[in-house]
Structure 1
Amino acid sequence: MEPLNVQHEGRTLRGTLHLPQEASAPAVVLCHGFSGNRTEFGHTFVRLGRRLAERGVAAYRFDFAGGGESDGEYGDITVTDQVSQVLAVLDAVGDHSGVDAERLSLLGMSLGGLTASLAAAKRQVRALALWAPAAIAVDPEVTRQRQAIIAEHGLHDFGGTPIFKRYADDAETIDAFADARGHAGPVLLAAGSEDNVFGPGVFDGYHGLYGSQLEYHKLNGVGHGFETVPAREHLLELTEAFLLRHM
C-alpha cells in the first residue's frame, strides 16, 4: 500500500494504491459516494483493496476534490467535474509502473457510482462495478426541486453538506442513462432491497442501458449503505469475484 497523488486542474487529489506482488497488475479505481472519502462506509474500500491485492489486482482509492484529504471545497463539486477527476485518475493509475494500463476497471458507490458509469462512457475500461448508483442525483424532478430550494435559500442543505447552484445547473445537463452509453464491458450492479435512493426506475434505466452486460444483485433487508455485517461481506465477496473474472 502506497500513497499516490493526482494533479487535476490545480488541485491535488490524494489517494492510496494497494499493489499486489505481481508486476504489471490489472487495477480498479474506487470512487466514493457523496460527501464521503476513500475509506467508504465500514471501511469497505480499504477491505476490498486489501483483498484484491492479495489476489493479484491493484486497487486505487482516492478522495474526490473537496472530500477527505484532497484539495478543494466539497460544496464546489459538480458531477461533470467528478467525471473529469476520474479520467485524470485513470491516466495516473495507468502510468504507474506496477499497473497494466490496458487492464483498468472502475467501481463506484452512490454518487461515485453515477460518476463511474459516466466516466466509463468516455474511457473504455475492462469492467464496471456500481454499488447503489445515485442516478437520482441528476433526476430532472429532483434537480428542479433543488434549484427552487437554492433560489430561496442560496444553497440546499443536504444532511449538513451544502449544495450550490453550480451543482444543480450541471445536473440539469446530464442524463444518467443516455450519457452513460458507450461502455462495452461487463457491469456489476448491487443495491439493497430497502434503498430509497436506488428505486425501481433506476434499475430499469440501467437494465435498459446495459442489457445482457448487466449482472444484478439485490441484497435483501438493507438500505443505501448495505447496513449489516453479512450484507457488507456479501457485497465484498460478489464484487471481488466479479472483478477477478473480468480483469
Structure 2
Amino acid sequence: MREELRFLKCIDHDVPIQIDIPDEGNEFPAVLLIHGFMSSRNNDNYMLARISQKIAAAGIVAARIDLCSMGENLYSRENYGMKVMIREVKASFKYLQNLPYVKKENVGLLGHSLGGRLAFTCSTLPAKIIVSLNGAINTFEPINVGYDKFEMANLGYSIVRTSCGGVELLYQKFLDDMKDAVNDNIKNFKNPILVEVCTDDPTLDPNISLNFIKTCHMANVDSFTVSGANHTFNVETGDFTKLNEVIGKVVPWISAHIK
C-alpha cells in the first residue's frame, strides 16, 4: 500500500485528503471515509486509518478527509456546520472520481457518527455504496448535541468535550445548519447500503440506526449489530477487538458490492 496526502480546493479553503492505494493494479474502486462530530481523519486512535488500511489491502482505494476546521483543515471553526461539510464531501467525492487510478463509476461513501449522517445526506451523489458506522442517520430531524446554552447565548460559542477527551468550540452555525440540512435523500438511493450499530453505544442512541433498519422498508439495506462496544468501538482504551470485528464484516461487504 502507498499513501498520498493532497489538498483539494473547496469554496475558499483546502480540504486535506489522505489516500491509501493498493500495491497491485492500475485502476481501482474507491471509498471516501468521513469522520464524525468534532473528530478528524486520524482521531479516535486512528480508527478510520485502520479501517482505510484494511480496505486498501482488499484492493480498493480508501481516502479520508478532515472536515471543516478539524485536523489539518484550516478553515475557521466559525464555519463548522453541515452546509460547509456537505460541500466538502461532495468536492472530495468528485476529486476521487477524477483520479487516474480510480474507477469513476465505482466510488462509495463510508461515514462514522456525524459522518454517517453526511453520507446519507450526500446520497444524491452517484455513490456505488453507502456504509454507516454508528451513524446519526435520522436525517429527517436535527440531532441533539450537548452544549452549554448559557455559553452559547452569552459568548456566541460553547466549549464541548469530544469523545477522545479533547476540548473544542461549537458555534451557533452548527446548530442552525443542522436545522437547515434536514432531508430524506436516502429514500431515493437505490444502490447497496450497510448500516452498522453498536447496541451499547452510550454516545449516540443506537435506536437511531435500529429504527431506520426496522422502518425504512428498503430492500437495498443490509445491517449488523455489535454488542459490548462504545461509539468508537472501544479504540480509546487500546483494545481493537470490537473494531476488528466491525472491519471483518464491513470490508468483505464493501468488496462484494463496490467492484
* TM, length-normalised to structure 2: 0.85
- The answer to whether residue 176 in structure 2 is matched with residue 174 in structure 1 is no
- The answer to whether residue 49 in structure 2 is matched with residue 38 in structure 1 is no
1:214 aligns to what? Answer: 221
Shift of 1:126: 0.8
Pick aligned residue for 1:9 from 4, 8, 11: 11
Aligned-partner residue type, residue 65 of structure 2: F
- The answer to whether residue 171 in structure 2 is matched with residue 195 in structure 1 is no
1:237 aligns to what? Answer: 248
Aligned-partner residue type, residue 172 of structure 1: K
2:190 aligns to what? Answer: 184
Aligned-partner residue type, residue 130 of structure 1: S
Distance 1:137 1:66, change over 3 A: farther
- The answer to whether residue 25 in structure 2 is matched with residue 22 in structure 1 is yes
More helix by share: 1
Aligned-partner residue type, residue 36 of structure 2: G
Aligned-partner residue type, residue 180 of structure 1: I
Asked whether the equivalents of residues 137 and 171 of structure 1 are also in contact (C-alpha less than 8 Å), the reply is: no
Moved segments of 4+, more than 4 Å: 135-141, 145-149
Paired with 2:211 and 2:61, the residues of 1 have a C-alpha distance of 32
How is 1:51-90 mapped onto 2 (pairs within 5 angstroms)?
A: 51-90=54-93
Aligned residues: 244
Deviations 1:64-83 (A, max 9, x none): 12111122133421112111
Which stretch of structure 1 is more off in the superposition, 196-205 or 131-140?
131-140
Paired with 1:61 and 1:136, the residues of 2 have a C-alpha distance of 23
SS at match of 2:122: helix
- The answer to whether residue 231 in structure 2 is matched with residue 224 in structure 1 is yes
Runs (5+) with no aligned partner, structure 2: 162-166
Asked whether the equivalents of residues 185 and 213 of structure 1 are also in contact (C-alpha less than 8 Å), the reply is: yes
RMSD: 2.3
Distance 1:95 1:226, change over 3 A: same
2:211 aligns to what? Answer: 204
Shift of 1:138: 8.1
Runs (5+) with no aligned partner, structure 1: none
How is 1:84-233 mapped onto 2 (pairs within 5 angstroms)?
A: 84-120=87-123, 122-135=124-137, 139-140=141-142, 142=144, 149=150, 150-159=152-161, 160-175=167-182, 178-196=184-202, 197-205=204-212, 207-209=214-216, 211-227=218-234, 228-233=239-244
Asked whether the equivalents of residues 143 and 178 of structure 2 are also in contact (C-alpha less than 8 Å), the reply is: no
Distance 1:194 1:153, change over 3 A: farther
SS at match of 2:31: strand
Which stretch of structure 1 is more off in the superposition, 59-68 or 209-218?
209-218
Paired with 2:208 and 2:117, the residues of 1 have a C-alpha distance of 14
Deviations 1:156-197 (A, max 9, x none): 322132221111111112336x24332211111112111131
Deviations 1:187-234 (A, max 9, x none): 111121111313314421354336222222111111211114221101
2:164 aligns to what? Answer: none
Shift of 1:3: 1.6
Asked whether the equivalents of residues 132 and 192 of structure 1 are also in contact (C-alpha less than 8 Å), the reply is: yes
